[in-house]
Structure 1
Amino acid sequence: MISYATVGSNDFDTSLPFYTDLLGTDGVTKMFDHPRGGVLFGKGGQPVLGVLKPADGEAASVGNGTMIAIGLPTREAVDAFHAKALDLGGSDEGAPGERGPGFYMAYFRDPEGNKFAACKLG
């Protein structure tokens, strides 16, 4: 079971407002500023996503083949989350729709190119 995920950022002025607004649509808020730069976001006292400066001090880069899926309670919430990501400067990687039995998905990239899925499973 995955507890939380992190993505690297080279531009906190863009990435932090993007994630604050986008994750806020599902009740996720800033938990704390990370000591090396960035923010850990959470919900109900549990971490969800860190947007951080890489630990090795090198530039952040997009992981080829890496994707983070964010579970949402309804198909309508998936549609709205995907639309919000695009409104905030993300790019479309696949419109909302059925991807398999019980898999309703939408795909987008954040402004730095990290790939995400919004999903309602079941």
Structure 2
Amino acid sequence: MLTYAAVGSNDLEKAKAFYDALLGSVGVQKMFDHPSGGRIYGTPKSMFGVLGPYDGARATVGNGAMSGFGLETRAQVAAFYAKAMEMGGACEGPPGLRGPVAANAYFAYVRDLDGNKLCAYKFGPE
């Protein structure tokens, strides 16, 4: 099971403000600031980071790469999406049911300020 994901940024101050607000809107808090100038969020069992690339090169978006945040309610998925839009993120798919009815999968997709793709989701009934 995936327990850690990170994205790169070319403007860490803007990225930290974006993720402080976005993740804070669904109850995920800062753990510590990273030596790259970025920040780590979450708990020791589940973490997300926004970092400066280790090699010092420009951060780029991975084609097909995405980080997902499993949330407790559909309302949290909608709040995650709304906060991303409010903070200047881009829509990649508004909140809604996805896949076969039997999956009962509620997803929303956004891109952060650097173009990294994020997903918020909740499986099962509200």
d(CA) in 2 for partners of 1:30, 1:80? 18
Query: Which residue does the alignment assign to 2:56?
Result: 57
Deviation at 1:47, TM superposition (A): 4.3
Deviation at 1:28, TM superposition (A): 1.3
Query: Which residue does the alignment assign to 1:99?
Result: 98
The Cα offsets for residues 83-102 of structure 1, whole Å up to 9 and x where unpaired, read as 11100110101011111222
Corresponding pairs, count: 121
- TM-score scaled by structure 1? 0.93
Describe the shift of the 1:118–1:6 C-alpha distance in structure 2 as closer, same or farther (beyond 3 A): same
For structure 2, which runs of at least 5 residues remain unmatched after alignment?
none
Tell me, yes or no, if structure 1 residue 73 matches structure 2 residue 72.
yes
- TM-score scaled by structure 2? 0.90
SS of equivalent to 1:77: helix
Identity across aligned pairs (percent)? 54
Query: Which residue does the alignment assign to 1:15?
Result: 15
Query: Which residue does the alignment assign to 2:116?
Result: 114
Q: Which runs of 4+ in 1 moved over 6 A?
A: none
Partner amino acid, structure 2, of 1:114: N
Cα RMSD over matched residues? 1.2
The Cα offsets for residues 41-96 of structure 1, whole Å up to 9 and x where unpaired, read as 113x4442111011111110000000111111111111111011100110101011
If each structure's strand is expressed as a fraction of its own residues, which one has the higher value? 1
d(CA) in 1 for partners of 2:90, 2:3? 26
For structure 1, which runs of at least 5 residues remain unmatched after alignment?
none
